[in-house]
Amino acid sequence: MRAQISDALGASEIVVTNAVIQYAWTTVLEQALHDYESQFRSYVLQNVIIAKAFARPMIEKRWGCIVALNMECAMQNHPLQSAYVSGKRGMNGLLWVLARELGEHQVTVNQIAPGWMISEAVQNAGTEHQEAYEKQVPLRRRGEDKDVANLVAFLASDLASFITGAYISGSGGNVVPTSCAF
């Protein structure tokens, strides 16, 4: 993939990761071990593979950014989501380490954690409004896919050149993460 992109466009300077492997959610005691493994592969290992494939040219250029999509669920820790949350929290730890390792090379690594957004698929299904969910969101509405795209565009721009290691909630205030001291 890196070679194809490089041949067509040159070395990548901006990489956005967003992958998911679907599975049935159930309790920790009932969740199959392979579901935890699949979530680890989907969120942690795919970010390792992408970093190994794309970060070196960014390091050489002394500029670049990696933006990964997390999810509000990673901070909510709701029942039945243990494999998903475990994978996302593992991804979070990996990306914080990567931000610290790539920072000296002027490469930023950040995360966006959207809420339950309205996508084209949601619009096509006619399920844009979810009253119970919207009532718990301080902005009293669901965001749209363009809200996520705007956050990605910001983090990929020079406006965010001094932001790395951030976990930015795009959930209308439904999740308000705190920072930790290193």
| Residues forming the active site | 84
Residues 6+ apart with CB under 8 A from 182: 100
Token pair 């990605």 is found at 152
Strands 167-170 and 14-17: unpaired
Asked if 44 and 19 count as a contact pair (C-beta separation under 8 A), the reply is: no
Residues 6+ apart with CB under 8 A from 176: 169
